[in-house]
Amino acid sequence: MPVTKVQPFMTEDDLDKKWKKRLLAHRMELIIATCIIVVVTLALGIGLGVGLSCVGKFRCGFSSQCIRSSAQCDGEVDCGNGEDELGCVRLSGRSSVLQVQRGGVWRTVCSEDWNNLLGASACKQLGYTSYVESFFIPLTAIEERLQYNLVSINLSQSQIIKLQNAPTFSKTQCTSGKVTTLKCLECGFRPKYATRIVGGNLSRPGQFPWQVSLHFSSEHLCGGSIITSLWIVTAAHCVFGFTDPSMWTIHVGQTEQPVHGAQSLAVEQIIYHTRYRPKGLDYDIALMKLTKPLVFNGFVEPICLPNYGEEFEEGTMCWISGWGATEDEGETSVFLRSAMVPILSTKTCNQPEVYQGLISPWMICAGYLEGGTDSCQGDSGGPLACEDTSRWKLVGATSWGIGCAIRNKPGVYTRITHSLSWIRQQMEVSACYCTIQYNSNETWIYSTLE
Ligand code: 4AZ
């Protein structure tokens, strides 16, 4: 017999109860579904976050690939683009002490077993195409933090490999009692500048021999600094969206615009920090590689990069220079101008009445809170240079500021010590495929391998 469900007779009250029940059930379903969605999203997010952040591991460049920390600088390429074997050498502290990284640990290199071939290899890893000399200084003369984790590097003359590949061993003491310091390039000198003649804030030829003018479509757009015969440091915001090298020329050894007989050079490659965003203020750093090496002549000279861990104290007097506007929103200057400005601490610069916490570790402030002297539009990318024991070092690249020379709005510069590993890695990647030899002129040369 077919079963027929007979709908019982319902009163209005019953009907109301029934709908309330249904509504409640529906609500419960909705709440449960929302909870499930939230839990799944959270789990996925955390999982993805952990994956992307490579917690406790080494991340390969800006990719999602992570490798064991101990696989970094171990002599074997683990990352797709070999990023784990880059940046394995650095110069540290005020004396340019050589340090080598292996498996994520930085070690100071002892002087025993060191030789010039190793020195030239270290410079190549630092992105240079030159090597000047190595010095040995007492372990006790260097900063305390560099005195632990020591290593001796021993290699036969015929081997030219990356330093981290050497059969190294860690030490608690250097038997010689000395550590290795390295000079890859003569930099930071101004041999053609006579300090007697300082004319206001117009610069003299040779006063800032590392200063360059970057021309885009034949017009001055930004400043830059020579750091080697092939590389110019500038700001990412100068080149963002304009990375076609053929549109740029680099003018060196000049104090006046337009250029009369100055060396003008073509650009081979423009690299800006991958994390730079035009709406952001961080990572404002870029490199330009020249097609041909510069000839240094006293009016054209490189400035030294600072070393890892070097601090530039508040109140240190440094120099800014450029062809930028001489007043906010004014015209660029015909003559290279310069000004002395004190370094400001991040704490000072982040005060509520100054930049209210906008200053990140990627930035360094310099200038006067009372206003009056500052960098301005067109100076961007140019140097904030500080003299340190008779050598000039590039401490900042002109980046941003609110207006120019306004009270409580000093200039903000990209902090070069923070950008060092990025700069070195770009230079190392692009360095020559070459061997190193000692030639008859008593200099080290790098000869290209076919
Ligand atoms: C600019 O627009 C710029 N006062 C450079 C430096 C400063 C401000 C603006 C710092 O290139």
Q: Active site residue: 380, 388, 399, 419, which one? A: 380
pLDDT averaged over the chain? 85
Q: How confident is the model at residue 166 (pLDDT cuts 50, 70, 90)?
A: confident
Ligand 1 and 375: CB distance under 6 A: yes
Nearest CA to 74 out of 66, 60, 84 is that of 84
Q: How confident is the model at residue 304 (pLDDT cuts 50, 70, 90)?
A: very high
pLDDT of 197 higher than 50: no
**How far apart are the CA of 113 and the centre of ligand 1, in A?**
49
78 an active-site residue?
A: no
pLDDT at 22: 57
Tens of pLDDT along 370-381?
999 999 999 999
pLDDT at 2: 38
Task: Dig out the tokens for 293 from the structure.
Answer: 């090496």
pLDDT at 7: 35
Q: How confident is the model at residue 353 (pLDDT cuts 50, 70, 90)?
A: very high
DSSP code for 155: -
pLDDT of 6 higher than 50: no
Give the atom of ligand 1 at the shortest distance from the alpha carbon of 405: 4
Q: Active site residue: 121, 203, 215, 284, which one? A: 284
**How far apart are the CA of 412 and the centre of ligand 1, in A?**
8
Q: How many helices (H) and strands (E) does the chain have?
A: 5, 23
DSSP code for 227: -
Tell me how crowded residue 26 is: count the other CB atoms within 10 A of its CB: 10
132-146, 156-170, 269-283, range with the lowest pLDDT: 156-170
Ligand 1 and 428: CB distance under 6 A: no
pLDDT of 437 higher than 80: no
pLDDT at 257: 85
Full set of structural domains in the chain with CATH: 71-184 (3.10.250.10), 317-417 (2.40.10.10)
Bridge partners, 170 (sequence order): 151
Q: Where are the beta strands (DSSP E) in 128-262?
A: 133-138, 150-152, 169-171, 178-183, 211-216, 219-226, 231-234, 248-252
Task: Dig out the tokens for 224 from the structure.
Answer: 């830059």
Ligand 1 atom 8: the closest Cα is on which residue? 401
Give the atom of ligand 1 at the shortest distance from the alpha carbon of 411: 10
Task: Dig out the tokens for 34 from the structure.
Answer: 């929302």
pLDDT of 1 higher than 70: no
Report yes or no: 307 and 360 within 8 Å, Cβ to Cβ.
no
Tell me how crowded residue 71 is: count the other CB atoms within 10 A of its CB: 18
pLDDT at 142: 97
pLDDT of 106 higher than 80: yes
Give the atom of ligand 1 at the shortest distance from the alpha carbon of 404: 4
Bridge partners, 280 (sequence order): none
pLDDT of 19 higher than 80: no
pLDDT at 64: 85
Amino acid of residue 260: H
Tell me how crowded residue 7 is: count the other CB atoms within 10 A of its CB: 6
**How far apart are the CA of 389 and the centre of ligand 1, in A?**
29
- Length of the chain measured in residues: 450
pLDDT at 200: 46
pLDDT at 27: 67
pLDDT at 28: 65
pLDDT of 179 higher than 70: yes
66-80, 100-114, 188-202, range with the lowest pLDDT: 188-202
Ligand 1 site-directed mutation target among 222, 333, 398, 414, most atoms within 8 Å of CB: 398
> 412 or 433: whose pLDDT is higher?
412
Ligand 1 and 367: CB distance under 6 A: no
pLDDT at 149: 92
